[in-house]
Chain A
Amino acid sequence: MSDTGRSSANSWLTLLLAGVFEIGYALSVGGSHGFTRLTWSLVAVVFFLLTLWALSVALRTIDVSIGYAVWAGIGAAGAALLGPVFFDESLTAVQAVWLGVIIVGVVWLKLADRPAKTQEPVESPRAAQGVAAGAKEAQVVEH
C-alpha cells in the first residue's frame, strides 16, 4: 500500500517536473529567435527531450487525460507568466483575460478526453487495478 502511494507521489512529482520543463521549452524556443542563437537553441533541445521524457514517465501511472491537462496547463500558464520576466514583452489586462480563456479551454479539453462517468459506474475497480493499464489504453485511444 505504501509502495503504491510512494510511486504515485513520484509520478505526480515527475508530472510537475514535466510541466516545469515545458515552461523551459517554451521560453527557450522563444529565446532562440528562430534557432539563430546557439545557447538558447541548445537549451531548447535539452528541454524538448526532458519534457518529452518526463511526461512519458509520468503517464505510465497517471491517467493520460489528467496528465496532459496538468502538463499543458503548467506549461501555458508558466510561459505566459514568465515570458515578460525573460523577454521584453507585455500584455494588457484584456489580452491576459483572453490568454486565460485559452489556457482554461485547453485544460478543460484535455480533461474532457476522460471517459464519461456513466461508462464507469464503479470507481474502485479501476483504482484497484492500477491506473497504468487504463492509462495505456487511453493513450492509444486518444491518439
Chain B
Amino acid sequence: MQWLYLAIADIFEIAVAIAAGKAEGFKNRKWTIATLVSGALGTFFLSKALLTFNVGVGYAIWTSVAGVGITLLGALVFGQRLNWRKALGILAIIVGVVGLQLSGAA
C-alpha cells in the first residue's frame, strides 16, 4: 500500500513542477492555486506513505522518482532531449530504489 501512496504522491509532485513552472513566480493566480493544491494533495499522500517508510527513505524515493517523472515527461511530451547524462541519473535512481527494496528498507 505504501508504494501506491508514494506513486500517487509522485503524480501530484510532478503536477506541482508543471504548475509552478507556469505560475511565473506565483504571479499567475490560477497556476499558483494549482501548485498549492497539487502540493497539498501530494504532501498528504506522502505522509500516508511515510507511515510505513522511514522518513529518509520514503522522502528520497518520492523526490527522486518525481525527478525521473519530470524528466521523462519533458522528453515524451515537451520534446526535450534525453541525453546520456539524464539517462545516467535515472539509472542511478532506479538502481538505488531497487537496492533499497531488496535490502529490506522499502
Interfacial residues, chain A to chain B (CB-CB below 8 A)? 25-27, 29-30, 32-35, 44, 48, 52, 56, 60, 72, 75-76, 79-84, 86-87, 89, 91-92, 94-95, 97-106, 108-113, 116, 139-143
Contact = CB atoms under 8 A, between A and B. Distances in A.
Main SS at interface, chain B: helix
Contacts of B58: 30
B25 A95 contact: no
B55 A105 contact: no
Nearest to B25: A56
Contact of B21 (A84, A109, A139): A139
Main SS at interface, chain A: helix
Lowest 4 CB-CB distances: which A-B pairs, in order?
Answer: A143-B21, A109-B89, A105-B92, A80-B56
Interface of B: 17-18, 20-22, 25-26, 35-36, 39-40, 43-44, 46-48, 50-51, 54-61, 63-64, 67-68, 70-71, 74, 78, 80, 83, 85-86, 88-93, 95-97, 99-100, 103-105
B50 A30 contact: yes
Given A98-B100, A103-B64, 19 more contacts: A25-B43, A30-B59, A33-B47, A44-B47, A48-B43, A56-B20, A72-B67, A89-B54, A91-B105, A98-B95, A98-B99, A105-B92, A106-B60, A106-B63, A106-B64, A108-B85, A109-B64, A142-B21, A143-B70
